[in-house]
Structure 1
């Protein structure tokens, strides 16, 4: 089994009235190449006639955002003309590439009625060769993501990208990045083989798990060494896990605000291009 280097507790980082825990980066861990950033919003309950999510129009360049809606919904709009409302169990995969402007807010229905909300957003780096690709967006509802039962139904793996237990994920990303969310009933077990040279991204959303012999719990990121290819997961309670893996790019990472490039000069160029209107026009 691959050994565990450390477990990192997500840190509280509220945004207005939105409960938020940041799992990456923190003072303990900057990134897990090519995984750059993870915000865990909620869980919390919104009252009727609420203001919803606060993420109005803002730009991105040089990476991809993958958003997992655990509860509630999220309404996406961007300068490329894409729009969608994705509900619980769905995902949004946005390739910012050379640049676009987008917003992520709650739907009018959610703002009117309120309800439970829990959303995770993961930033995944793009290699230098792909940082300036054309932007792309795809929103998928829960029933569009393959659900793979295992261990007599005690484990259900939702295959977002890559191949999981012989099932291809719903998204074919630019780079060979595998991502899934996994729901466990208590005592559910899952064994996976992951290449030893891949970075593993393992974040417990809910519940308690034993991961390669170590217990972990909600809001913890497990960091692995690169010394084995076997991953053994055992649920101690009902639990939900965000799991990914990919070969590291091993390229310079320069991040500033909403841009992630390979040099400071490229960051300056990103700001100049945004200010010059090269990220497209905001609708309306």
Structure 2
């Protein structure tokens, strides 16, 4: 079994009127290669006639975003011409690659009517060989994503990428990566084989779980040692966990603003290319 290296509590960093907690990066943890950044927005309730999510047009290069919509919705538009509204239970996977401009805002319906909102966004690094790959975007609604149950239907698995037993995730990824959302009933037990040379991303979104004898509350990220091929955990109360794993790239990483590259020189080039309009035009 893997052992826990450290538990990292998410820090409160509100963005306008959006409740936001950020466990990665933190003062004691730069990345869990290739997982580099997580924002946890909500849970909160928006009143009718609200402004919704505040993420207007902005650029990205050199990484991918995985967005988990637990409550509410998110309207995506980008300079590649992709546009969608993904609702509760849906997932977005965007490969910024060589560069694009996108906006992530709430639908006009949500802004008019209000309601519950809880959305998480995880940034996944791209290796040097894929930094300048062509951008792409896929958004899937809840019923389009592979889902199954384990532990006598006490665990509901949303399989986003990679494989689990005979099941295959709904997103094809550039690099081998496993990503899932787990919905656990109180008392549920999950045991999963994960090769020791892969890094684990384990974040408790809701509820409380017991991992290797330690109780871990929601809004906490677990950093594991690479000393075993299995993890096991139990839900102390109903819980939601994001579980991912992948081999580290072991490459230099320079992250600045919305860009994630291998060198400072590449970061400066990204800013120049963006200013020169090489990320596409914004016609929305």
Map of 2:71 onto structure 1: 71
The Cα of 1:212 is off from its aligned counterpart by 2.3
* Cα deviation code 1:91-121 (max 9, x no counterpart): 0000000000000000000000000000000
Report 1:1-284 matches (<5 A): 1-284=1-284
Distance in 1, matches of 2:212 and 2:125, equals 27
Distance in 2, matches of 1:202 and 1:40, equals 13
The Cα of 1:165 is off from its aligned counterpart by 3.1
Distance in 2, matches of 1:220 and 1:166, equals 30
In the alignment, structure 2 segments of 5+ residues that lack a partner are: none
Distance in 1, matches of 2:283 and 2:212, equals 48
Work out the number of aligned pairs and report it: 284
**Per the alignment, in what secondary structure is the counterpart of residue 5 of structure 1?**
strand
**Per the alignment, in what secondary structure is the counterpart of residue 210 of structure 1?**
strand
Distance in 1, matches of 2:84 and 2:153, equals 31
The Cα of 1:281 is off from its aligned counterpart by 0.2
In the alignment, structure 1 segments of 5+ residues that lack a partner are: none
* Cα deviation code 1:112-141 (max 9, x no counterpart): 000000000000000000000000000000
Distance in 2, matches of 1:184 and 1:144, equals 20
Distance in 2, matches of 1:121 and 1:97, equals 17
The Cα of 1:79 is off from its aligned counterpart by 0.1
The Cα of 1:23 is off from its aligned counterpart by 1.1
The Cα of 1:213 is off from its aligned counterpart by 2.2
Distance in 2, matches of 1:154 and 1:52, equals 34
Distance in 2, matches of 1:245 and 1:166, equals 18
Distance in 1, matches of 2:172 and 2:92, equals 13
**Per the alignment, in what secondary structure is the counterpart of residue 143 of structure 2?**
helix
Distance in 2, matches of 1:144 and 1:283, equals 29
Distance in 2, matches of 1:217 and 1:247, equals 26
The Cα of 1:166 is off from its aligned counterpart by 2.4
Distance in 1, matches of 2:156 and 2:233, equals 13
Distance in 2, matches of 1:209 and 1:202, equals 11
TM-score normalised according to structure 1 size: 0.99
Alpha-carbon RMSD: 0.6
